[in-house]
Amino acid sequence: MSLLSVEALDVRHGHLPAVRDVSLEIGEGETLALVGANGAGKTSLLRALAGAHPPARGRIRFGDVDIAGMPAHARVRAGIALVPEGRRVFRDLTVEENLLVARAARRRGPWTVDAVLDAFPILEPLRHRRASTLSGGEQQATAIGRALMTNPKLLLLDEVSLGLAPVAIDGVYASLKRLIAGGATIVIVEQDLARATSVATRVACMLEGRIVLQGEPATLSREEIKQAYFGLASSPSTGSPA
pLDDT digits (tens, 9 = 90+) for 196-211: 889 999 999 999 999 9
The pLDDT value given to residue 143? 95
The model carries a pTM of 0.90
CATH number (domain holding residue 136):
3.40.50.300
| Alpha-carbon gap, residue 215 to 240, rounded angstroms | 8
Residue 143 lies in a domain: yes
Residues 216-240: tens digit of each pLDDT: 999 998 889 888 988 875 444 444 3
Residue 201 lies in a domain: yes
Q: What is the domain extent for residue 204?
A: 4-230
What's the structural domain count of the chain?
1
Residues 6+ apart with CB under 8 A from 131: 89, 90, 91, 92, 93, 94, 95, 98, 139, 142
Residue 242 lies in a domain: no
Cβ atoms of 83 and 143 closer than 8 Å: yes
Residue 237 lies in a domain: no
Residues 6+ apart with CB under 8 A from 155: 81, 83, 144, 147, 148, 179, 184, 185, 186, 187
